[in-house]
Structure 1
Amino acid sequence: MKARAIRIHKHGGPDVMQLDEVDLAGPEPGQVRVKNTCIGVNYADIYEREGDHGGPHSAKEMPITMGHMAVGVIDAIGEGVSGRRNGERVGYIGPDSYADYTNVQAARLFSLPDAVSDLVAGGYLLRGLTAEYLLRRLYKVGPGTTALVHAAAGGMGLILGEWGSLLGARMIGTVSSPEKAEVARAHGYETVINYSSEDFAVRTLAETNGTGADVIYDGVGKMAFLKSLDCIRPRGMVISYGTASGNVGEFDLQRLHSKSIIVTRPTLRSWIADPEEAALASKALFDVLSGGEIQTPIGKQFSLDQAVEAHRHLESRSATAPIVLIP
């Protein structure tokens, strides 16, 4: 069948993406074909478009179909697949999602509960699963935990703030403007620091009686990482889960020595590789989303042929909620 897909034929800026008509074979054994209804736009997509293979995705042969997650409905089922049906609503974390249709391994699908719309699932599946392992497994937050989150008003920042607060942690967020500070305060952050007008490390130490945060969630990278080491408590953990401002690069390991700081650079792929862990993670996420315990605002919605504009908007760092493509 013919399908539309956003592909790149070389690495570069947003303009290297183009809408192509491609031949899509039927699903192979073990696969289903998903008719995508809502596609998440994430920084992982930017890393791949730019050719940043120091991130979670390895180099691929050109042309590359963009995208790493979507939700939709099953419209064809390959041999050997059981327990799935045509018309079933599903989500997936996987390649080639910037398209009308995508063939996906059936074992990697997430069934969507009725209480979670396609729009919310498209905006929050990847971010929500990331927040789940960051808050509940990599560093288990709860009452008595003080967590500092960079880019608190962004798509990841919003769900980290609300879910962390729901788990009982004290959430401190950094933002770049007074307007974003208001957004962060409305999504679980007790304290919000505008790093454009004050030193976030100094303020974090002041807010924690000089001790520092227990855990720091850094999706910014180059602009925030090293200074974060100045405001983490002894034996605390700095989690570099994204690099929106650029890769951290090399740094002196001795910076960690005096306070026995733990630093990690995780990726979601490793934390949902085991099917049983993935099922438990998705259940935790969908329970939270279905229960109405956290807000799920959606940012700008773009059509598939507006992927260039969607990437520019995400890179502008003006987005205060997840961005999606609607095929």
Structure 2
Amino acid sequence: MKSKGFVIHQHGGSDVLQWQDVDLPELGANDVLVRHTAIGINFIDIYFRQGLYPMTLPGRLGIEAAGVVEAVGSGVSQFSAGDRVAYCKGGLGSYAEAHIVAENCLIPVPDDIDDETAAAVLLKGLTAAYLLYKTAPLQAGANILIQAAAGGVGTLLSQWAKHLGAYVIGTVGSEEKAVLAKANGCDETILYDQQDVAEEVRRLTGGKGVEVVFDSVGAATCEASLNSLAKRGLFVSFGNASGPVEAIAPLTLLQKGSVFMTRPGLADYIEDRAEMLELSGLLFAAIREGHVKVSINQRYGLKDAAKAQDDLAQRLTTGSSILLP
């Protein structure tokens, strides 16, 4: 089976993405052929391209998409041709017209969720779901800090955390993004390039600090995140947009107020299919009930994936971005 898609033969900048014919393997008994209708763009795609995360070369990029089932293997029981599905695990290769995905990696898309929304929100939304319901379950009235609050995950986290009753402080890179962050649930915003983040957090919380920091930025914000925590607070470092965080000595956590630190990843929260469907159910319900609104602020043709990645890396985007075959 043939499909058009992107392949990289070496790690590097966005110029290593090559659009070409790709050979799809024969369907295994438990495999599903998905014809893509919309494809999600995420920082993890850039990490794989750069070599921060390991992959086999030559290889394909992309882990998230929505589409329609075109064919199923002989042992598939949960899906049939014509079903609408989405996925954000199951192997690299979503930057293409079609992809073969294992049955247990697919999530049925409800009738009231359109394909673009599913592709734009699944990975980021499942990330927000596990962070808020599994990693750091919030109590109403909790003070939290979200680094990069106008970004893809940040926008969802802000809305959802506000619905759960948190006092939400978000960091942003511009006045325009501050307006966006406040429209999406942030009670207060901090311009991280112009203000001392930890100092502002202390001011906004009466000197106490926040119970939880959600930080997807990494190296550039780690120190500010730690310094913003209340005693026995939790630093959730879940991304590396500015590069990986350097090693932190355990004694540092004591010196910051007996704080906790965790570095979770989505894969460990959706490895079990039942838990993946539980989290996707929470996500789709939050969208359905209006607690979470998905803002698709950038749409690119599939062949423009390199530009899409560059815009994301340069922080020129807000909300979610998608590729359209």
Q: TM-score range by the shorter chain?
A: over 0.9
Identity rate, percent? 38
Q: Is 1:28 aligned with 2:23? A: no
Tell me the residue number matched to 1:133.
130
Q: Are the counterparts in 1 of residues 299 and 323 from structure 2 also a CA contact under 8 Å?
A: yes
Q: Is 1:248 aligned with 2:245? A: yes
5+ long unaligned stretches in structure 1 = 54-58
Q: Could you tell me which of 55, 60, 64 is aligned with 1:60?
A: 55
SS in 2 for 1:300: strand
Q: Could you tell me which of 88, 91, 94 is aligned with 1:97?
A: 94
Q: Are the counterparts in 1 of residues 39 and 120 from structure 2 also a CA contact under 8 Å?
A: yes
Tell me the residue number matched to 2:115.
118
Tell me the residue number matched to 1:2.
2
Tell me the residue number matched to 1:307.
305
* Distance in 2, Cα, partners of 1:142 & 1:164: 10
TM-score by length of 1: 0.96
Identify if the C-alpha distance between structure 1 residues 190 and 61 changes in structure 2 by more than 3 Å, giving closer, same or farther: same
* Distance in 2, Cα, partners of 1:223 & 1:114: 41
Q: 1:78, CA displacement in angstroms?
A: 0.5
For residues 41-89 of structure 1, what are the alpha-carbon distances to aligned partners after superposition, in whole Å with 9 as ceiling and x for unaligned?
Answer: 0000000000003xxxxx2321111001111010000021112110100
TM-score by length of 2: 0.97
Equivalence map 1:1-327=2 (5 Å) = 1-53=1-53, 59-94=54-89, 95-258=92-255, 259-327=257-325
Q: Are the counterparts in 2 of residues 69 and 92 from structure 1 also a CA contact under 8 Å?
A: yes
For residues 212-257 of structure 1, what are the alpha-carbon distances to aligned partners after superposition, in whole Å with 9 as ceiling and x for unaligned?
Answer: 1000000111110112111101111001101111111223332101
* Distance in 2, Cα, partners of 1:215 & 1:189: 14
Is 296-305 or 264-273 further displaced after alignment?
296-305
* Distance in 2, Cα, partners of 1:228 & 1:41: 26
* Distance in 2, Cα, partners of 1:143 & 1:212: 16
* Distance in 1, Cα, partners of 2:225 & 2:78: 46
5+ long unaligned stretches in structure 2 = none
Tell me the residue number matched to 1:56.
none
* Distance in 2, Cα, partners of 1:298 & 1:74: 24
Q: CA RMSD in A?
A: 1.0
* Distance in 1, Cα, partners of 2:31 & 2:213: 38
* Distance in 2, Cα, partners of 1:293 & 1:256: 34
Poorly superposed stretches of 4+, deviation over 6 Å: none
The letter for the 1-side match of 2:10 is K
Q: Are the counterparts in 1 of residues 48 and 55 from structure 2 also a CA contact under 8 Å?
A: no
SS in 2 for 1:84: coil
SS in 1 for 2:5: strand
* Distance in 2, Cα, partners of 1:221 & 1:62: 26
The letter for the 1-side match of 2:80 is R
Provide the aligned length of Structure 1 versus Structure 2: 322
Is 79-88 or 18-27 further displaced after alignment?
18-27
